[in-house]
Amino acid sequence: MRLVKMPRLGQDMSEGVLVEWLKSPGDRVEEGELLAVIETDKAEVAFESPTGGYLVAILMEPRASAATGAPIAWIADDPSAQPPSLDSPPSEPIAAGAAPAARAAGGPPSRPPTRESSRKPVSPLARRRAKELGVDISGVEGTGPRGRVTEDDVVRAHEAAQAGAPESRPLPRMRRAIARSMTRSAAIPQFRLVREVVIEMSDHAADGPKATYTDLLLWAAAKALAERPSVNASWIDGDPPSVRVHPAVNLGFAVAVDDGLVVPVIPDAASLSLAQTSAQRRRLEQAARRGRLRPENLEGGTFTVSNLGAAGIDEFTALINPPEAGILAVGAVKPRPVVVKGMLVAAPTVRLTLTGDHRVFDGMEGAKFLAALVAHLGPPARTGTDRPAMEGTR
């Protein structure tokens, strides 16, 4: 019998919300097979079973929250095994085939209720949320396992108390995480560079017929970062401070989901072809929207691309995602007037805005990065007014 605990799916994770069980009690589970979907501050993440066997008991209902390390399920080799009581859990996971003495007598151990055990169970997150909202936790009805009070219970109690009166809207976990990250970002001395570029997918059709403009820009950005590594870097506070230049381009791209956005990461993106980049982007984007990202899909990013072109935005400025030193904002691809060989013509162009950490690299280095990116978007003859800027960047 093995006890499954709430995993730590990120360095900063202290609690998680169990969004969905992907297995039911009695199901066979292989080690490494997806067991549940857990919401962290960053995203909904797929949790792999740490062991194989049969899921004999689940200890958390969907939407309940728990601290990392808290018990969430039992897995056993015998599908008919009875889980032990958690009132006095063993110091080590119960070995396969072993049974506690009380179970041998005919059932899980029990004990008379005491003052401590009769208290209403409250998740740490719910307790903090109640303090933030000024909710008396003793009056909140718990809907979690064994009547446990969850964060959602506290929020509902607060909304009920404020019914009919103006009130602030409680922030979901993801929006709170975004707020914290952007507050850190606002402390960074940031500058922006804007460049309008002629871009045509026909120049790259042979590399992957299903590739999109987003794929092309991700691929070109990864190649440019490999050529201008000072942009693929991070500021390191210390005495003295330093700059870490990352050996690989781990390219993040923003994906809009309910309540915010997530940034899946394509590892070693500079080594991929356009077709491989497209396949990775599609796989990660689908996983993000279905809540099936794995922890490693969200870690280790060195640069981010954010594309709002599909939303009709021509140009925007994105804030740096710490600890990265740069982010590229991509607008809509539209026919715009450009000068080609001295003639005014209409051509599909995109406006790219690079936001950089001025502590890590300056405007000239940012301009060289953009020139390298443009060089990968198509042959000079197809990039109109950008041809002079591309010379010498290949």
Catalytic residues: 358, 362
Distance in Å from the first CA to the final CA of the chain: 60
Q: List Cβ neighbours of 145 (8 Å cut-off, separation of 6 or more).
A: 59, 60, 61, 64
Distances (CA, A) of 48 to 9, 33, 52, 62: 11, 5, 10, 17
Length of the chain, in residues: 394
Cα 216 to Cα 229: distance, rounded to the nearest angstrom: 20
Q: How many angstroms from the chain centroid is the CA of residue 183?
A: 18
For the chain, the 3-state helix, strand and coil shares in percent, each to the nearest 5, are 30, 25, 45
Cα 17 to Cα 22: distance, rounded to the nearest angstrom: 14
Nearest by Cα to 302 from 363, 360, 216 = 360
Rg from Cα positions in the chain:
26
Quickly tell me which residue has 């017929």 as its tokens. Answer: 209
Which helix (H) or strand (E) segment is 185 a member of? Answer: helix 173-186
